[in-house]
Structure 1
Amino acid sequence: MTGYLRSDGRKGIRNVTVVVYLVECAHHVAREVVFPSREQGVHLLGFPGCYPNAYAHRMLKQLCTHPNVGAALLVSLGCEGFNRKNLLEEIRATGRPADVLVIQDTGGTRKTIEEGRAWIAQALEKTAQVPRVPMTVSDLVVGTVCGGSDATSGITANPAVGRAFDQLVQNGARVVFEETGELIGCEQIMAMRAARPELASELIACVEKAGRYYSTLGHGSFAPGNAEGGLTTIEEKSMGAYSKSGNSPISGILKPGDVPPSAGLYLLDVVPDGEVRWGFPNISDIQEIGELIACGSHVTLFTTGRGSVVGSAISPVIKICANPETYRRLNEDMDINAGRILEGAATLDEVGREIYDRIVRVAEGEKTASEAMGHAEFSLVYKSFEPLGPACLPG
């Protein structure tokens, strides 16, 4: 296995160029800049808001300097509140090719698109020269998320991911599970797995915060599709989601944009801090994937029972289907059929090993189903977080 060496010592398994719109008004121009080069690893992401948000700035900084990213072009309208100069300086400080186009200064839609496409052509030549160096599983960060869960998720795909997570941790990788709003009822179990006593109370506090958030909003992370798929309560859904974490000790807690400092298992807290003011914490699976990538995830494991077709920008998504019937209908969008466990054709350990092996092959360059179909979804909204406390991370 080899990776693209970055200036901070991290290694990427992809070498994409990102085009980033800094306000919704610049979205169309950025999308048109990307369009001719999307088959060459040029991805679109951005922030639609017009007013500043520290979370959004941090997210885009972490994404533009992710080890899978080789270059970044920022596209600004010119009058939004996003600090484009600061973000550009942060990206350039890593040695990556980076620039910003301001539509109001460049001369409008057509001229900005032309300049953007010319810049991309030059950036692709530069990123092709990034050296590749030896890489092992211990260099990887792997995230996991579930979406479109049904009654099969918690007994096939999710615990199979847990088996793969255990194997990754044993081989020195850093793995991240989430989200706290779908772990309600599991907080005491997680606390028993905390690597340090002070971390146990922080794990409980994370889930309690999620409970307060959802109580204030008047709804929780339980969709009609979950009920139609046979799930009955948030606790039942939580137990299934929790099983993705495997059995390793929990080393720490992250918030979006925090990179795990050392090997081990980490919980990503995605529920905003402070008073409830942002609405539903994660409006889509795509947003959760983006937050995992901002924490450094090279690959995201996406389990689904009902079925999902999304991928992501920057980092590949490996789709693990829990339900054999769903797999038969959506097999072109799936990478692994964990539903074989229900039919007696495979064990949890066998599928866990298959997931681990697929991660290695994807890290070596094999495309996932969503990559091959051109999926590169991205979503970013307003949130607010406080810095991690000393109990949250090892050392």
Structure 2
Amino acid sequence: MKTDSGAPISPVSMRGFLRADGRKGIRNVIAVAYLVECAHHVAREIAWPFRDQDVHLIGFPGCYPNGYAQRMMEALCTHPNVGAVLLLSLGCESFDKYGLAHVIRQSGRPVETVVIQASGGTRASIAEGQAWVRAQLPVLAAQEPVPMGVEELIVGTVCGGSDGTSGITGNPAAGRAFDQLVGEGAACIFEETGELIGCEHIMASRAVTPELGVILEESVAKAARYYATLGYGSFAAGNADGGLSTIEEKSMGAYAKSGSSPIAGLIKPGDRPPRGGLYLLDVVPDGEVRFGFPNINDTAEIAELIACGSHAVLFVTGRGSVVGSAISPVVKICANPETYRRMADDMDVDAGRILAGEATLDEVGREIRDLVVSLGHGRRTKSEELGHREFVLTYKSFEPIGPACLPAA
């Protein structure tokens, strides 16, 4: 694997953007964040002229307060891939814009808040916001990158549009990449507890402590109860059309993304892994079912992985998916060789070569690992090149994790 300039990649000398808290980002993004749906249009218009630059639109549409959303926005706006933040407020929403701005400012990042009701409305707010972004771009461009090692990476994984090939090629190949990255000291996060039903006992046997094993099993049991209450599981018509028959069968494929490393802890959205190792992200809300489906689409899960610090996210698909994400690059791993032939322009890795006997799981796993490292040298993923910056944030509720969730912290 080489950089875009043709130079060979060193596994320990990526380049990163150093933040005040000591973390390093592989991107230097300006986040334009709306704090209520009423400010979405203004925020989008501010970001649009800079769409070919690293100015990304994120936001929370709700008008009513939610601790989860507040925590998510704080984590996202202080993500190591983010260098500056512009907040867009209508003015009368319940979101704590002053608290969010304080957290961002305390992180050492430039932050500005535009309140539409106080700034003169749509046109005046757009002009004010665009002027601020325009002034920040050369400041971030002048920031010199510093050396960054693989052990400083956090990498997430998710699968979407799964079919009968996903659990044979793409997911286990992502798992092999995770094993390599964990072995080099990186932190890796897998999730989708609603798609681990049937695998909980196998997963628990990999926990670093018996107490953590119990917690892993309980997280899957919670997901099963949640979906039973909803009357709908994490199994779509497209999964069946692609050859999957049951949630347990889908779960086995989803579980393969975790690889074979010991599981070092369980975290929830907004929690960061305290050190390298493998972590399960519990995405199903705590308590009674209140806010509908735990994740309304794959993009919401990607946002939660990023809120946990993921510099990049591995996305495995069999049927085909085109989504990317704001803030952190998404690596598309295509499990199905036929899908890859149809959608090669959207895919970074052809894991379907494994089915054709053209590559082994280990070889594709190494390719994925090397591609992740190359992102730290400036390489862009297909979704980045195509301008995909999807983002979704809804209402949820979580209780804090206990010490048994992170026994090695």
TM-score by length of 2: 0.96
Residue of structure 2 equivalent to 1:34: 47
Given the alignment, which residue of 58, 71, 76 partners 2:89? 76
CA distance in 2 between counterparts of 1:120 and 1:180 reads 39
Shift of 1:324: 0.2
CA distance in 2 between counterparts of 1:38 and 1:63 reads 19
1:103/1:112 contact within 8 Å kept: yes
Residue of structure 1 equivalent to 2:310: 297
Shift of 1:131: 3.4
CA distance in 1 between counterparts of 2:210 and 2:240 reads 36
1:19/1:30 contact within 8 Å kept: yes
Residue of structure 2 equivalent to 1:140: 153
Residue of structure 2 equivalent to 1:205: 218
Given the alignment, which residue of 117, 129, 148 partners 1:104? 117
CA distance in 1 between counterparts of 2:282 and 2:140 reads 33
Q: Secondary structure at the match of 1:113?
A: helix
Runs of 4+ in 1 over 6 A off after TM superposition: none
CA distance in 2 between counterparts of 1:51 and 1:265 reads 35
Shift of 1:236: 0.2
Q: Secondary structure at the match of 2:394?
A: coil
Residue of structure 2 equivalent to 1:268: 281
Residue of structure 2 equivalent to 1:287: 300
Letter in 2 for 1:225: G
Shift of 1:130: 2.8
Given the alignment, which residue of 173, 177, 180 partners 1:164? 177
Residue of structure 1 equivalent to 2:5: none
- Within the alignment, does 1:19 sit opposite 2:32 as a pair? yes
1:1-395 correspondence to structure 2 within 5 Å: 1-393=14-406, 394-395=408-409
CA distance in 2 between counterparts of 1:130 and 1:92 reads 18
Q: Deviations over 1:75-127 (max 9, x none)?
A: 00011000000000100011111010000000000000000000001111222
CA distance in 2 between counterparts of 1:380 and 1:154 reads 28
Q: Deviations over 1:132-174 (max 9, x none)?
A: 2110100100000000000000000000001000000000000
1:5/1:130 contact within 8 Å kept: no
CA distance in 1 between counterparts of 2:71 and 2:283 reads 14
Q: Secondary structure at the match of 1:144?
A: strand
Shift of 1:362: 1.3
Superposition RMSD on alpha carbons, in Å?
0.6
Shift of 1:271: 0.1
Letter in 2 for 1:13: I
Shift of 1:273: 0.3
Q: Secondary structure at the match of 1:270?
A: coil
1:165/1:245 contact within 8 Å kept: yes
CA distance in 2 between counterparts of 1:128 and 1:257 reads 28
1:154/1:239 contact within 8 Å kept: yes
CA distance in 1 between counterparts of 2:242 and 2:348 reads 21
CA distance in 2 between counterparts of 1:254 and 1:129 reads 35
In structure 1, the gaps of 5 or more residues are: none
Shift of 1:38: 1.5
Q: Deviations over 1:156-212 (max 9, x none)?
A: 000000100000000000000011000000100011000011101000000000000
Q: Secondary structure at the match of 1:71?
A: strand
Q: Deviations over 1:230-252 (max 9, x none)?
A: 00000000000000000000000
> Identity rate of aligned residues, in percent?
69
In structure 2, the gaps of 5 or more residues are: 1-13
Letter in 1 for 2:267: L
Shift of 1:34: 0.1
TM-score by length of 1: 0.99
CA distance in 1 between counterparts of 2:333 and 2:397 reads 31
CA distance in 1 between counterparts of 2:265 and 2:377 reads 28
1:313/1:377 contact within 8 Å kept: yes
